[in-house]
Every structure is written in C-alpha cells, then in structure tokens.
Structure 1
Amino acid sequence: MKKIILTTCILFSVLFLNAQDLKKYDRGSYIKGKDSIYYRILFPENFNPDQKYPLVIFLHGVGERGIDNGNQLLHGGKLFLKNDVRKNFPAIVVFPQCPPNDFWANANFEKDAKGKRKISFVEGGKPTKIMHALQGMVRNFLNKPYINQDQVYVGGLSMGAMGTYELLRRERRKFAAAIAICGGDNTNNIKKYQKIPLWIFHGAKDDIVDPVFSIAIAERLKTVGDEVKFTLYPNANHNSWDNAFAEPELLSWLFSHKR
C-alpha cells in the first residue's frame, strides 16, 4: 500500500510540474475583422525587446483542437521548454489553436467500401477560416520589431503538418525552413514551396495518415526542390512525432537556415 501511495504521489508531482512548466507559455490572441485565433507563446529567457529573435510557429493535430487555448501544447510544448533548447536556441515559439469545427488545411475525408478513411487534398483553393486567421497572425508577428524576419520557421504534426504545407505555399516568402510530421498534401501544390528547406517525418506503420503522402512529397521535392530531408520510421505508427522530437539534430537543422 505504501508503494502504491508513493507511486501515486510521484505521478501527481510529475504531472503538476509539467503543468507548471507549460504555464511559461503566455496566452495570446489575434483578432482582426472576421479573423480570430488564440495561441500560446513562449518568450526566450531574459527576453529583450530591443533584440531580434527567430520565430517558430507550431501547428497541432486534430485531437488538440478546442477553445481552451491550452490543449495544443500537448505534443511539442515540452520540447521548447528543455533547458538546453532554451539556452542554445533562444526563440519566440507560438502554438496557435484550431477550433473544433475547423481544419488547418483544405482536405477532404471520405470512407471507402470497407469503411477505411480516405484523405484527399485540394489543389489550390481558398484557405479555410482558421488558415486565413493564421496567415493574419503570422503577418502580425512579422511586424513586431523583435522578430528576426530571416529566421521564421513553421512545423506541425498530422493535421498540423497538412497545415504546414498549406501555410508554406500561401506565405512561402516568409519562411526559412519547415518540418512536417505525418502529414500530406496534393503534390501539385509542391511547386509553391519547393524552394523552402523541409524535413519530413512519417511512421511506416501509420494507420491514420498513410505514409504514402509523405513519401510522394519527398520524392517529388528530391527532383525539383532545393533541400529536403525525409525520415521514415519503420516501426512507428501515427505518433511518429515522438521519434521526430527525439532527433538530436532536429532544432540545429531548423535554426541553421536563414531566408
């Protein structure tokens, strides 16, 4: 019984500390006209508004949609709180949140005869409501005097990776590099962002978003793009972000690029 109580206490302590750490992300919002988007933002330690810092935008997956302005930190939020990351890569990190009834990218979902979900991506087309707001948010941040406009990055997982590709093609002149984890896009859209360095990740056993999407994008970019890295994890399912976040060169690769 004592061991159970001790284990429970330790578990609650860890959860409490994690929750406390995530509170280092301030709450923010961008509201202009019909556009509204809420986000959490992490400033560098010893932030100096007279200096210029890189900007990282990270887009969450479908499971973290909501109106709580907090759930989007579930995957990736702790990565940027690590002491070595804060020391070696001082940056302004923004996690916007997509509401429950919206989607970062223009994607269609259907079910085949066996009931399996099929995803297709729109070529071109108008942005979703939340993507339009996200574009406005990005432009607003780039007007801040403390943002280094040569070091603006975007990344995302699952739905967020789909949104990453879409944001890149809509605002391609603003980003220095990007990472996309278990996402997808219409390969006809690639020409819009082929000049932007990309590191793509996917799990070979992903049964939510078919790895064929990432494979197709990577193969196409290898023939027309400036720089693409592709990592396929042979034993990973949809949560390949766990592997990607553990890549020792992930952030050094990202921050090494300048526009």
Structure 2
Amino acid sequence: MRSLSYIVLFIIFQSCASQVKPTLIDAEMETNVTEKLSYYLYFPDDYDVDPEKDFPILLFLHGGGESGDSLVTIKRNGPPKLILEGKKFPFLILAPQNPNPKKWWNTRAVKQLLDSIVKTNRIDKRRIYLTGLSRGGGAAWEMAVQYPETFAAMAVVCGMTPLPYASWINKKMPMWVFHGEKDKSIPIEESETMVAKLKEMGYEVLFTKYPNVGHSAWIKAYETDALYDWFMDQELK
C-alpha cells in the first residue's frame, strides 16, 4: 500500500505540473520620469552684436559637493567661478545643478535641458562641447556614451570612467582628461586605464596629470586657457 500511495502522489504532482500556466507574458507600461533642473546660462559679450551668428556652447557638469537646491553653489568651481572672477568666454556656457546630493546625475534630463537651450538660442549644433568634474566628470563620460553624435569635444576632470563602454564613444570626438596623481576620492587609475584603452582603440585623447595634486585637480584644469582655445578648434565630425 505504501508503494501504491507514492505512485498516486506522483501522478497527482504530474497532473498539477501539466496545468501550470506559462510565467512569461507580454506586457507594456508607459513611464514618465521628470527632473526639475535649475541652471545658469552664460552669454558671450558679442552674442547680440550679430543676430545672424551662431555660437558654440559648453555644457558644464559640477561635482557632488555642488548638488542640492542652492544654485549659488555652482559658482564655487569651474567656468562659473571664473566668470564671477571676470573671465570672458567666446561661447555660451550651460551649467545645470544636480538637485540630488546623494544621487548621480540624471543625464537624460540634462540632455533634454541642453536640447531646449540649443533650440531656443543661436547655437552652432556642430560645436557643442562637454565638460565635468568629479561626479560631473563621470556624468560627462556617461553622456559621451549615451549621445555619441552630440558633442564635438569633451574634457573630463577626475571623473569615474565607464571602461567597458569605451567603444561606444564617437571615435572622431577629441577628448582631454585631467587628474591629480594624489587623488584619494577617485584614484588616477580611473583616468589612466580609460585613456590607455581609448588610445589603444585609436581615439584622440590628451591626458594631463598633476603631481602632488589631490581631488581638486579642477582648479588647475579650468584655469588652463589652452583648454578653451582647444575647445574652439573642435567641430563635430
């Protein structure tokens, strides 16, 4: 009888299994992700001189320390700081603020903002430049991967790098990477490995290392006048 009960149970299990419905179904859901971005927009002095002239634009992405809801913090570093100190730039500068102190940049939202600024101002679409420092540097790498046909040139300062996606970046886009050799927040190996990989694949990459400089490599990087001359020499290919 015991063996017979085993047989009966086995038959019951087999019967139940045959009635199980497939768990893989087709479905669809429309998502809607929004982000409120505050930003500064700088115009060069001669923007209104010739109403027929289009200008380049530089998208600047700040580091984690400037994230939040106080737009004034963006002026602590990079091009916004230099503008306050009186420096003149030959292109527009778009400097949005990441509203999330503990989160990465929402690069899709940034791209939507950039597209809107380009559409509503006299922008040369073949001369859109990208730069970022620290967390913003990581976001710059991400945007170069996600939107390879948008940017004419990119400069990254001490940013984390998406090494596995190096091949997705536009091979015709020149890049300039800056990093402090004593950086303890984002080790210089991040940039060294990425630059080596890109050069191995035939990309055009400049690499500037700062001896005895930590994570604040952006101070020297953005005070490099040659950087802005270099940007102005680039055009989307």
| TM, length-normalised to structure 2 | 0.79
Q: How far apart in 1 are the matches of 2:57 and 2:207? A: 23
* 8 A contact 1:59–1:157 mirrored in 2: yes
State the 1:131 CA deviation: 1.8
State the 1:161 CA deviation: 0.4
Q: Pairwise mapping of residues 1-259 of structure 1 onto structure 2 (< 5 A)? A: 34-48=34-48, 49-76=51-78, 77-80=80-83, 86=88, 89-99=89-99, 100-104=101-105, 130-195=106-171, 196-259=173-236
Deviations 1:173-204 (A, max 9, x none): 01000100001222111111152211001001
Aligned-CA RMSD value: 1.9
State the number of aligned residues: 200
Q: How far apart in 2 are the matches of 1:95 and 1:67? A: 14
Identical amino acids, percent of aligned pairs: 30
Q: How far apart in 1 are the matches of 2:143 and 2:103? A: 15
CA distance 1:145–1:171, shift in 2 (3 Å) = same
The DSSP-based 3-state class of the residue aligned with 1:37 is: coil
CA distance 1:208–1:199, shift in 2 (3 Å) = same
2:25 equivalent in structure 1: none
What is the identity, as a one-letter code, of the residue corresponding to 2:38?
Y
Q: Which moved more, 1:224-233 or 1:137-146?
A: 137-146
Q: Which moved more, 1:138-147 or 1:62-71?
A: 138-147
2:23 equivalent in structure 1: none
In terms of fraction of residues, the more strand-rich structure is: 1
Q: How far apart in 2 are the matches of 1:255 and 1:73? A: 23
* 8 A contact 1:56–1:91 mirrored in 2: yes
| Structure with max Cα Rg | 2
| TM, length-normalised to structure 1 | 0.72
Q: Which moved more, 1:60-69 or 1:132-141?
A: 132-141
* 8 A contact 1:206–1:238 mirrored in 2: yes
Q: How far apart in 2 are the matches of 1:240 and 1:152? A: 24
Q: How far apart in 1 are the matches of 2:136 and 2:42? A: 19
* 8 A contact 2:131–2:140 mirrored in 1: yes
Q: Where does structure 1 differ by over 3 angstroms across 4 or more consecutive aligned residues?
A: 80-83
* 8 A contact 1:194–1:224 mirrored in 2: no
State the 1:52 CA deviation: 0.8
